[in-house]
A and B are shown apart, each in its own frame.
Chain A
Amino acid sequence: MIEIKNVVKKYGDKIALDNVNFTIGDGEIFAFIGRNGAGKTTLIKAITGIHDFDEGDILINGKSIKKEPVDCKKEMAYVPDNPELYENMRAIDFVNFICDMYEVPIKTRERNIKKYAEMFDLTNNMNDTIESFSHGMKQKVALISALTHEPKFLVMDEPFVGLDPKAVADVKNVMREMVEKGGIVFFSTHILEVAERLCSKVAIIQKGKLMRVGSMKEVKGDKGLEKVFLELVEK
């Protein structure tokens, strides 16, 4: 379970997250939607321990990301919106490096790297340097490295950007697989149709404030997610 409790984040005088509160339960695919600059990436970076926040706390399975960041991060994987990876590394070395950080046993990494490299059609490119890859290929490397260490919580910032249709379908399947095993998938997206079809819960953020949060049914009602979203952000 991920508990976000009264989180406040300020950049100087600007409030990026204004007392954000919600909980993500085990086995949930949770969509986080909002306009550009609404605070989605800021919250994602706070959850993953990349950025500090000024007030409140975030608990990962009861542990505070502020007080026990290393323990919290062990159970989590993060896929950034813009896959800025180590360009000078070969894809296999990058995935290996991430596995080293998570201390993944060699047999687990062998099995998972093979599985996900095949899934994302990168098997023949794993020995190439990342700088030679397209945006989509880099995104796939980021996904392989995030999935190989078998995280309980997968946190992704706009994961479908730059992926080909087959890879998008594969990512959706991976998400479903993860939550079936009791894991959590939390991601931001601008593709509301995907969120509507894939997610059990959703939160809408506007100017750092949580406008609505709940199950997909509760949030969209009979109107459809896009209509609800537009009504909220245009207020």
Chain B
Amino acid sequence: MSKFLTLLKASIFEGMSLFKFRTKKHSKTKKIALFIFLVVAVFVSVYGYADMMLEPLAGTGMEYSVLTMYSLVAVVIILAEGIYKASGLLFNCRDDDLVLALPIKKSSVFLLRMMKFYLFELAFSTMILLPTMVAYVVRVGVLTVPPTFYLASFVALILLPVIPVVLAVLISMGISGISTRFRFKNLIQIVLTMAVLVGVMILSFNIQDIMTTIAEHVSSINEMIMRLYYPVGAYIQMVTDFSVLTLIVFILVNLVVAGVSVLIFSKVYFKINSRAKTVKLGKNQKEGKIKAHGVMRALMIKEGRKFISSPVFLVNAGFSLLLYLIAVIMMVVNFDWIISMFSSAGLGLSKEEILNFMPVIVAGFVVFCALMTSITSSMISLEGGTINILKSMPVSAFKIIMAKVLTAVLIAVPVFLIGDVVLFIKFDFNILQMLIILALSIIVPIVAEVLGIIVNLKYPKMDARNDTEIVKQSMSSMVAVFMGMILSVVTVYLMYLGIDNGVSAGKVMITVLGAYTLIMMGLIIYLKIRGDKELSEITV
């Protein structure tokens, strides 16, 4: 047991450390400050939003419904993200040879990797659930909440991620099991993962219908949640009407699911892992074609190859772009969806009013989605040891960096432009509005990608054991998403303020376009001046 714990500790410190990035002098202070800032920022944001939802429910005795919603959201996110994270974390790890050569059982190696995955998801779900639980206690009243709430919430906090993690691992193993039988395993893996993720999203979008169907056959809300998803239902039951029996059953169900799955999965895991590591050679032995490209084109081809060869990298970026397209299609085919979104945000606008503001809404939507898609925030880290190849080449650092930015822009921009065209066909925009939206669809992704690469240059993670650690668990990707979120929320809020104060839609859109053009130029100038130094300071 102590051997296992030592290995787990080493593995977590080595692989999952979010804060293992290079900073210059006084790095310890910077790391701690950044860590505290991010934790506080996430806590305050989630707390604020949960509290906003609890406000109309205060005193009704229905406050627990916010806990239900946040628990379900955490479960769905763990499941959706876990499906493509799991394959990267479990299979083809760079420390395979080292760990498998140690005198420990193979099933312990699998358990170790499952634990690592679970602990990261636990940290993630805690970021969502803990502030919600605190907001619940504050709203309901510290003295009103029974002590059993704290016990139930603590147990739920620990155990709620278990089943989604197990499900994610099961699905991921299934996908890897199928894809590793083919020569183009990455392609098959990407297609299958995308298909499963779209399925999960469709299921989430239809949750309302599912709940309605369940509601017809149950006598209480608790029973409904229990039928929808047992662990959340059990937690809510313990919050509203605590019983020791429910607590014991809840703990046992999670432990049994975890134990049985580890025992069964570890039987097939090593077979799949071994297949995942095997690279089938081409049947025809050829010398290969020799082609010449310009420096920039060659660099961009290399970046494109990396993008399509890393399932987790591609699915992560591709899925958010796919979600954008799905959202655009929903706006076109189901306009009531937009109206319901505005009502749920407390902005009860009529259909005519929404149609009038449609160009601004679309502009804000493009800004939001583009800033939330940062492909470049992983691109420096994904180089790993190969960064030295690039640094030894007779090519300026600015060119190397811009090749990454341009590749990411070429991946993202066409999706936004396709979305624009679909929206232009459906809604009645004038030429100027269309031009501004098209320009925003080009400029804002450039801003997001330049910002992403700057963040990655500041916080590179060059010693990751797999791509998942970089794409999903690195400081760079977290900071980039956080900055994109702040920038997009501020922009959308300022646009709303402008419209609310009677500024014309055209003026608001031109101002946003002007502002982002200036930001883009500023960021590129920064890269031109600082990029060389930032890149040279990255050591592998």
- A contact set with B: CB distance below 8 Å: 45, 48-52, 69-74, 76, 78, 80, 82, 84-86, 88-93, 96-106, 109-110, 113-114, 117, 123-129, 131-132
Judged by a CB distance under 8 angstroms, whether B291 is at the interface is: yes
Knowing A86-B305, A89-B305, say if A100 contacts B285 (CB, 8 Å): no
- B contact set with A: CB distance below 8 Å: 279-282, 284-295, 297-299, 301-302, 305-306, 309-310, 384-386, 388-389, 391-396, 536-537, 539
CB pair A106 B290 closer than 8 Å: yes
> Which residue on B lies nearest to A113, using beta carbons?
B290
CB pair B285 A124 closer than 8 Å: yes
CB pair B295 A71 closer than 8 Å: no
CB pair B298 A50 closer than 8 Å: no
Q: How far is the CA of A144 from the CA of B309 in the complex (A)?
A: 24
> Which residue on A lies nearest to B279, using beta carbons?
A132
CB pair B386 A103 closer than 8 Å: no
> Which residue on B lies nearest to A104, using beta carbons?
B292
Q: How far is the CA of A215 from the CA of B105 in the complex (A)?
A: 55
Knowing A52-B537, A92-B289, A110-B290, say if A128 contacts B392 (CB, 8 Å): no
> Which residue on A lies nearest to B302, using beta carbons?
A97
Knowing A70-B395, A100-B298, A127-B286, say if A84 contacts B292 (CB, 8 Å): no
Known: A72-B394, A84-B384. 8 other contacts (CB 8 A): A50-B388, A86-B389, A97-B298, A98-B389, A100-B295, A100-B297, A124-B285, A132-B280
Main secondary structure of the interface of A (DSSP, over half): helix
CB pair B288 A50 closer than 8 Å: no
Chain B residues in 8 Å Cβ range of A84: 384-386, 388-389
Distance between B217 CB and nearest chain A CB, rounded to angstroms = 51
Knowing A89-B305, A92-B289, A127-B282, say if A101 contacts B384 (CB, 8 Å): no
Distance between A54 CB and nearest chain B CB, rounded to angstroms = 12
CB pair B281 A88 closer than 8 Å: no
CB pair A126 B298 closer than 8 Å: no
For this complex, 11 residue pairs linking A to B, each with C-beta atoms less than 8 Å apart, are A51-B539, A78-B392, A84-B389, A90-B288, A96-B290, A98-B389, A100-B294, A105-B292, A124-B286, A125-B285, A132-B280
> Which residue on A lies nearest to B399, using beta carbons?
A70
Q: How far is the CA of A49 from the CA of B535 in the complex (A)?
A: 11
Q: How far is the CA of A191 from the CA of B386 in the complex (A)?
A: 26
Q: How far is the CA of A97 from the CA of B290 in the complex (A)?
A: 10
> Which residue on A lies nearest to B395, using beta carbons?
A101
Chain A residues in 8 Å Cβ range of B388: 45, 50, 78, 80, 84
CB pair B279 A102 closer than 8 Å: no
Q: How far is the CA of A51 from the CA of B292 in the complex (A)?
A: 29
Q: How far is the CA of A7 from the CA of B292 in the complex (A)?
A: 38
Knowing A86-B302, A100-B292, A100-B294, say if A50 contacts B285 (CB, 8 Å): no
**Pick the contact of A101 from B279, B290, B295, B537 — CB < 8 Å?**
B295
Q: How far is the CA of A127 from the CA of B290 in the complex (A)?
A: 11
CB pair B306 A126 closer than 8 Å: no
CB pair B393 A131 closer than 8 Å: no
Distance between B216 CB and nearest chain A CB, rounded to angstroms = 52
> Which residue on A lies nearest to B386, using beta carbons?
A84
Knowing A100-B293, A103-B295, A128-B281, say if A85 contacts B392 (CB, 8 Å): no
Chain A residues in 8 Å Cβ range of B290: 92, 96, 106, 109-110, 113
**Pick the contact of A128 from B282, B295, B384 — CB < 8 Å?**
B282
Chain A residues in 8 Å Cβ range of B288: 90-93, 126-127
> Which residue on A lies nearest to B388, using beta carbons?
A50
CB pair A88 B305 closer than 8 Å: yes
Q: How far is the CA of A72 from the CA of B537 in the complex (A)?
A: 19
Chain B residues in 8 Å Cβ range of A76: 392
- Which are the 6 A-B pairs with shortest beta-carbon distances? A92-B288, A84-B385, A100-B298, A88-B309, A73-B394, A132-B279
CB pair B292 A126 closer than 8 Å: no
Chain B residues in 8 Å Cβ range of A106: 290, 292
> Which residue on B lies nearest to A52, using beta carbons?
B536
Chain A residues in 8 Å Cβ range of B396: 69-70
CB pair B391 A86 closer than 8 Å: no
Q: How far is the CA of A136 from the CA of B297 in the complex (A)?
A: 30
CB pair B292 A99 closer than 8 Å: yes
Knowing A100-B298, A127-B288, say if A86 contacts B395 (CB, 8 Å): no
Distance between B427 CB and nearest chain A CB, rounded to angstroms = 42
Chain A residues in 8 Å Cβ range of B306: 86, 88
CB pair B536 A73 closer than 8 Å: no
Knowing A85-B386, A124-B285, say if A101 contacts B298 (CB, 8 Å): yes
Chain B residues in 8 Å Cβ range of A131: 279
Chain A residues in 8 Å Cβ range of B536: 51-52
Q: How far is the CA of A48 from the CA of B392 in the complex (A)?
A: 6
Q: How far is the CA of A85 from the CA of B388 in the complex (A)?
A: 10
CB pair B287 A50 closer than 8 Å: no
Knowing A49-B392, A82-B385, say if A126 contacts B287 (CB, 8 Å): yes
Knowing A86-B302, A97-B298, A127-B286, say if A70 contacts B394 (CB, 8 Å): yes
Distance between B285 CB and nearest chain A CB, rounded to angstroms = 4
Select the residue from B290, B310, B386, B392 with max chain A CB neighbours within 10 A: B392
Distance between B479 CB and nearest chain A CB, rounded to angstroms = 24
**Pick the contact of A50 from B286, B391, B395 — CB < 8 Å?**
B391
Chain B residues in 8 Å Cβ range of A70: 394-396
Q: How far is the CA of A78 from the CA of B282 in the complex (A)?
A: 29
CB pair B539 A85 closer than 8 Å: no
> Which residue on A lies nearest to B294, using beta carbons?
A100
